[in-house]
Structure 1
Amino acid sequence: MKHEGVNQISSALGIYISTLKTEFTQGMILPTVNGEQSELPPHPVRKAEEQKTTEPVAGNALKSKSIGVKIPTCKISLKDVFLTSPDELYRVFITQEMVQAFTHSPAFLEADKGGKFQLLDGSVTGEFTELVPEKQIAMKWRFKTWPEGHFATITLTFIDKAGETEIRLEGRGIPANEEERTREGWQRYYFEGIKQTFGYGARLF
């Protein structure tokens, strides 16, 4: 009985010491036979925990990225002179029949603040945001080929020049790649069209 008890105690101590050595040496730097140092492989449980802590960080980083696309825009300015009064020129821009005359196409206009308009067979649409008789017209304005929902802000200012009217156009928020097309469109379809249709571009002696 005495010998069996000693053997059981010795066996239990051997397992305990072996377990202690294994846990104590986890992650330690141990010398090799050649005198070089090598690190024991990381504990599998610890490695799994490290992976768990890094995965949410990566997920959060992806969520923080912006998903919107910003449109590069520009500003244009135009100036022209018409041989008519500010009152007459103002009415040309807000009267449906006159707009249809100088654009040579069907048009729809609601000449009030907040009123909608559609010109050139739907190629141009928008909304009047400010109407000051003889002085100024401001509008939200877009070509149908522009990104959906994007409008430029167009402001027309009428300046009395004693028998002539100087018109100044300022356009903001125009897509950068549409700058030249927009400038040429206003000059050709609006300014030149008005002059040719109503005779505001030539002096009558």
Structure 2
Amino acid sequence: MQIHLETTLPAAPERVYELLTNGAKFGEVTGQPGKGGGSAGAYFSLFNDWLEGRQIELVPNERIVQAWRFMNWEPGVYSIVRFTLTPNGDGTKLVVDQEGVPEAFHEHVKTNWKPFYFEPFAKHLEGLA
């Protein structure tokens, strides 16, 4: 089952890209500790090590592809997350496509993108405008 979500954030793609590829910055913005993730192949963890993964592909300010998993998933099970960033006026259209989420966790993952990513990002980025 695939997850497809879209939002527009009030900042240039560079700022959104940084939040998605810098675990420490993600943690500062969301209040959920994170680390790592700045280069292709790099390990990262978010939500105080509850989610871990690797950066698969990084196209600065345009696309991010990550493999990640939650600690309560079966060993070896990873989801692929693709972030596409497109300039949209003074902001950025962020498209999230995710596949490979175990069925038992699908609804949980889908409903938590907004409160754990989109809303804290928007609040932080609005404060910088």
Asked if the contact 2:24–2:35 (Cα under 8 Å) also holds between the matched residues in 1, the reply is: no
**Identity over aligned pairs, percent:** 23
1:94-109 residue pairs with structure 2 within 5 A?
94-109=21-36
In structure 2, distance between residues paired with 1:79 and 1:137: 15
Asked if the contact 2:37–2:43 (Cα under 8 Å) also holds between the matched residues in 1, the reply is: yes
**Which protein, 1 or 2, shows the higher relative CO under an 8 Å CA cutoff with sep ≥ 6?**
2
Residue 123 of structure 2 corresponds to which residue in structure 1? 196
Residue 46 of structure 2 corresponds to which residue in structure 1? 119
Higher helix share: 1
Q: How many residues align?
A: 129
In structure 1, distance between residues paired with 2:6 and 2:66: 17
Higher strand share: 2
SS of the counterpart of 1:122?
A: coil
CA 1:77–1:128 in 2, change beyond 3 Å: closer, same or farther?
A: same
Residue 155 of structure 1 corresponds to which residue in structure 2? 82
Residue 92 of structure 1 corresponds to which residue in structure 2? 19
State the 4+ residue runs in structure 1 displaced beyond 4 angstroms. none
Residue 97 of structure 2 corresponds to which residue in structure 1? 170
Aligned-residue CA RMSD (Å): 1.8
* Residue 110 of structure 1, aligned match among 29, 33, 37: 37
Instruction: Describe the superposition over 1:120-168 as per-residue Cα deviations: whole angstroms up to 9, x where unpaired.
Output: 1111110000000110000001111111110000000001112111000
Unmatched 5+ residue regions in structure 1?
A: 1-73
1:34-49 residue pairs with structure 2 within 5 A?
none
Instruction: Describe the superposition over 1:34-74 as per-residue Cα deviations: whole angstroms up to 9, x where unpaired.
Output: xxxxxxxxxxxxxxxxxxxxxxxxxxxxxxxxxxxxxxxx1
Asked if the contact 2:51–2:68 (Cα under 8 Å) also holds between the matched residues in 1, the reply is: yes
Task: Report deviation, 1:105.
Answer: 2.9
Normalization by structure 1: what TM-score?
0.59
Unmatched 5+ residue regions in structure 2?
A: none
Asked if the contact 1:101–1:197 (Cα under 8 Å) also holds between the matched residues in 2, the reply is: no
Asked if the contact 2:25–2:34 (Cα under 8 Å) also holds between the matched residues in 1, the reply is: no
Bigger Rg over Cα: 1
Normalization by structure 2: what TM-score?
0.91
